[in-house]
Homo-oligomer: A and B are copies of this chain.
Amino acid sequence: MGDPQEADGVDERRFDLDVEGRVVPGILWTPTGAVGPRPLVLLGHGATRHKRVDHIVAIARQVVQNFEFAAMAIDAPFHGDRRPDPDADEFTVFSDFLVEWSRQGSVEDMVADWKATLEAVRDLDEVGDGPLGYWGLSMGTIYGIPFVATEPRVQAAVFGLMGLVGPTTERLATDAAGVNCPVAFIQQWDDSLLPRQPVLDLFDALASLDKRLHVHPGEHAAVPVEELEYSVAFLARHLM
């Protein structure tokens, strides 16, 4: 765990954790001077992005500054600091992700990465064993639904920008049926990466009785600020 970089009441610490021989790079955000357990929000980034992309940092800082929560993000395989070539172009990164997504064991490995980093930061006094939330769209939902399905401590989750498509379609459907916590699910109505129906089918497959789907016009990456603000408020409401 690196030394904290402090800005406006938020400490940001870079860490690397060895998980089954994989080096998993992460960031932990906590209130400056925090003592004792608090709610923790896990942030799963999208394909071609990384643990410190703008909206991840923005959400992390909001939950820390506005609610005194902690937040954590890790890089997914072949993203961020898990790339040997940090300057790789977006097509290369996306292509590597599609290969990784198709690899048998990809989901299991990422779920293990989440669980191990989660346990590591919960050992810190200023994080501890508080309520747990998950936020992840697109690739953050591909890996997030399997994680949340096997992590009953998660009390609220934000998913979206994904549907019952791709190499892990069956796994996603099965794991969605194992998600029982309150969920906010985000869909972009004009998403050229995802047909509408499989997205609605994934929302439908979530077992949660308390779930809501928020749909906005526009492309995959055009989720409006309104929805990011809602997702933070949603998690705060359930974790406070």
Residues of A bordering B, CB below 8 Å = 189, 196, 200, 203-204, 209-217, 226-227
Please give me the 5 A-B residue pairs with the lowest Cβ-Cβ distance, nearest first: A213-B215, A212-B216, A214-B214, A212-B214, A211-B217
Residues of B within 8 A of A210 (CB): 217
- Other-chain contact of A204, B189, B200, B211, B214 (Cβ < 8 Å): B189
Please tell me how many copies of the chain the complex holds: 2
A213 to B160: give the CA distance in the assembly, Å.
14
B217 and A215: CB pair below 8 A?
no
Q: Give the one of A196, A200, A210, A215 with max B CB within 10 A.
A: A215
For the complex, give the distance between the alpha carbons of A17 and B137 in Å.
52
Asked whether B213 lies within 8 Å of A214 as measured between CB atoms, the reply is: yes
Contacts of A226 in B (CB 8 A): 212
Q: B209, B216, B227: which contacts A217 (Cβ < 8 A)? A: B209
Contacts of A217 in B (CB 8 A): 209-211
Shortest CB-to-CB span from A208 to chain B, Å, is 8
For residue A200, which residues in chain B have a CB less than 8 angstroms away from its CB? 196, 200
